[in-house]
Amino acid sequence: MDAENFKREFLPYHRKLYCIAYRLLENAADAEDLVQEAYLKMWDKREGLTIISNPEAFSVTLVKNMCFDLLRSGKYTLNRQSLEINEVYNMSQADNFEVRDEARQVRAIIAQLPEQQRRIVTLRDVKGYSFEEIEQATGLNATNVRVLLSRARKKIREEFNKWCNYGS
C-alpha cells in the first residue's frame, strides 16, 4: 500500500479515533500521542492492510486496544491519579470547606481500599467507564468487577459514615 492509498483509507477516521482515545484516556495530549502511535503501527504493517475490508472498524479496534493496554499499565494509572488528585487539591478558596473536607476524606478512604477495588472504583465512579471497558482494562470478568465494586462502595459508605458520626 502506498502513501496515497494509506491516507485515503485511514486518515479520514483521525477525528473519530482521537475522540475515542480522549474518552478513554481523558487527556488530550495522551490521546493525540496514542492516535499517532496507532497510525505508525498501521504504516509499519501497511502491506498487510490491503486485505482489510473495513478500515474504520480496524482502526477503531486498534485504538481501543492500545488505550486499554495503556490503562492496564500501572504506571500510567498512577500518574493520571496523582494528576487528578492534584487538581482536586487546587480548588479555589471560595469552594465550600465542608465539601472539600468530605472529598478529602472520601479520597483517603478510597486510597485505603485493596488495589483492585481502588482501581475499579476509580474507573467506574470517578472516570465513568462502562463495565465492559473495566473488564477489558482489568482482565476481570463482569461478575468479579461487580462484586469488587459493591464491596468497595460498601466499605467507602461504612468508613465515611464512621467519619461523619465521629465529628458529631
Q: Which CATH code of 1.10.10.10, 1.10.3720.10, 3.30.1310.10, 3.40.50.970 fits the domain covering 74-166?
A: 1.10.10.10
For the stretch 54-105, pLDDT in tens is: 999 999 999 999 988 888 876 665 555 545 545 555 554 445 566 677 788 8
Domain definitions of the chain by residue range: 3-72, 74-166
> What pLDDT score does 93 carry?
44
Q: How many residues does the chain have?
A: 168
Q: Is the pLDDT of residue 168 over 50?
A: no
> What pLDDT score does 36 carry?
94
Check whether domain 3-72 has CATH 1.10.1740, yes or no: yes
For the stretch 104-123, pLDDT in tens is: 888 889 999 999 999 999 88
Classify residue 3 as exposed, middle or buried by CB count within 10 Å of its CB (0-12, 13-18, 19+): exposed
d(CA 112, CA 96): 25
| Structure-block grid coordinates of residue 120 | 475499579
Residue 148: how many other CB atoms lie within 10 Å: 22
Cα dihedral: 59, 62, 65, 66 (round 10):
-110
> What pLDDT score does 99 carry?
67
Quick check: 76 and 70 in contact, CB under 8 A?
yes
| Structure-block grid coordinates of residue 114 | 485493596
